[in-house]
Chains A and B, each alone.
Chain A
Amino acid sequence: MHSRWKSMWMGTLAAVAIAILAGVIMDRVNPGVGARYSSSSTRL
């Protein structure tokens, strides 16, 4: 039974690890909607 589900757990854990890594990277790279579409730099 253990080996029957082993590959499923490995794939799932890898997916979660990739998701966490991607989330951290996106959080650091992406300035966010607030910053990107801010009107703070308006020049009138």
Chain B
Amino acid sequence: MSGAGLRGFWLALFVVFAVQTGIVPAPGLDAASAWAQTSGTVPGNSAGNVSDAEFWRAIRKGVTGSVSIPDKKAGVLVQSDGDELRAFRNGPMSQFGGWILLAVLVVLALFLALRGRIRVEAGMSGETVERFNPFERFVHWLTASSFVILALSGLNTLYGKYLLPELIGKSTFATLTLWGKVAHTSIAWAFMLGIALMFVSWVKDNIPRAIDLQWLLAAGGLFTKGVHPPSGRFNAGQKFIFWAVVLGGGSLSLSGLSLLFPFEMQMFAGTFKVLNLFGFELPTQLTPLQETQYALMWHGFLALVMIAVIVAHIYIGSLGMEGAFDAVGTGQVDVNWAREHHNLWVAELEQSGQAADTGRPHPAE
């Protein structure tokens, strides 16, 4: 190798070494780097140009990443909707529920104070007629007893933490709440069965009829002594209770099932699509976690409304009206009670020979 060739070889070797060690930048790489710095992006779309604040803000807002474990929901590191759920549950829902339950108690107390117990105006005759057969009474109490357990354990879940730890201690409260949760999820099946049996047993007598309007216009005679609007086996108020229990209980059951088997039932996206047809603008793309959160909110809200309705039902069926409890107790009600509150039903029984016609005038006639 000549002297010039040898110098060229050593020069080339130095350039390669210098580029490798970074002493001298490689011409091509230098150009790409400069381009990246001026355009604000990094080749390969790496996160190098994203600031930490933007990165964590995206995570905080619930951006979905990818995970290799079976539970794909874990791809969301921070689920912000949970904050909104907690705020709604501990805020408006709890407050609304507290006010509505208090309002019902106050209204019933006022009603009792002003109207008094609704008596059988003709007095008890001593003759009875069967109002509900043994199976119907069984269905009523199956549903009622399970609803009471569900309501108490549910109210404890929502409000217990504000009151009970101070009264019974944190440890006892924790044990109570744990067993309350077990009771809630177990006895819910009895409630669902009761709702289904109740629907089958009584739906034919609870179809709304034109005569119900008369009952409603007279407010059922609840506020005026001596007024007894006509009614069949069930009056309009009882029909309202029936449909509230069947539809409300049915919705409670479905939302409860979606909470019992979380992330496996998608109900709200479909429901919202239907509601949007009526002008609502509800989200129709929901993650499984959002579905469960909507179910939790709806379950709690509806349960509070149902409890308020059932408290009123319990009042009028026991303390509020003389002779009413016998219908679901022995199943036998006094004929005069039946004539005053369900005159058309008594007339049907008399026509079919199931009740003796005493010839007394029917109050609503």
Chain A residues with CB under 8 Å of chain B are 3-5, 7-12, 14-16, 18-20, 22-23, 26, 36-37, 39, 41-44
11 more contacts with CB within 8 A, not counting A8-B141, A11-B143, A15-B142, are A7-B138, A8-B145, A8-B328, A14-B138, A15-B187, A15-B190, A18-B189, A22-B186, A22-B187, A26-B185, A41-B69
Residue-wise, chain B 42-80 has the 8 Å CB interface mask toward A (1 for contact) of 000000000000000000000000001111001000000
Bound Cα distance from A23 to B131, whole angstroms: 34
Is B183 among interface residues, defined by CB-CB distance under 8 A?
A: yes
| Interface contact A11-B70, CB-CB below 8 Å | no
- List, in ascending order, chain B residues with CB within 8 A of A39's CB: 69, 71, 74
Q: Which of B71, B183, B191, B260 is in CB contact (< 8 Å) with A37?
A: B71
Q: Which of A4, A15, A41, A42 is in CB contact (< 8 Å) with B146?
A: A15
Bound Cα distance from A13 to B161, whole angstroms: 30
Is B239 among interface residues, defined by CB-CB distance under 8 A?
A: no
CB distance from B139 to the nearest CB of A (A): 7
Q: A11-B138, A11-B142 are in contact. Are A19 and B330 (CB under 8 A)?
A: no
- List, in ascending order, chain A residues with CB within 8 A of B142's CB: 11-12, 14-15
The interface residues of chain A, by DSSP majority, are classed as: helix
Is B182 among interface residues, defined by CB-CB distance under 8 A?
A: yes
| Interface contact B69-A14, CB-CB below 8 Å | no
Bound Cα distance from A19 to B142, whole angstroms: 11
CB distance from A18 to the nearest CB of B (A): 4
CB distance from B249 to the nearest CB of A (A): 14
Bound Cα distance from A12 to B134, whole angstroms: 14
Bound Cα distance from A23 to B328, whole angstroms: 28
8 A Cβ contacts from B134-153 to A: 134, 137-146, 149
Q: A11-B141, A12-B145, A15-B145 are in contact. Are A5 and B329 (CB under 8 A)?
A: yes
Q: A19-B189, A20-B186, A26-B186 are in contact. Are A11 and B330 (CB under 8 A)?
A: no
Q: A15-B145, A42-B69 are in contact. Are A7 and B134 (CB under 8 A)?
A: yes
Bound Cα distance from A23 to B179, whole angstroms: 12
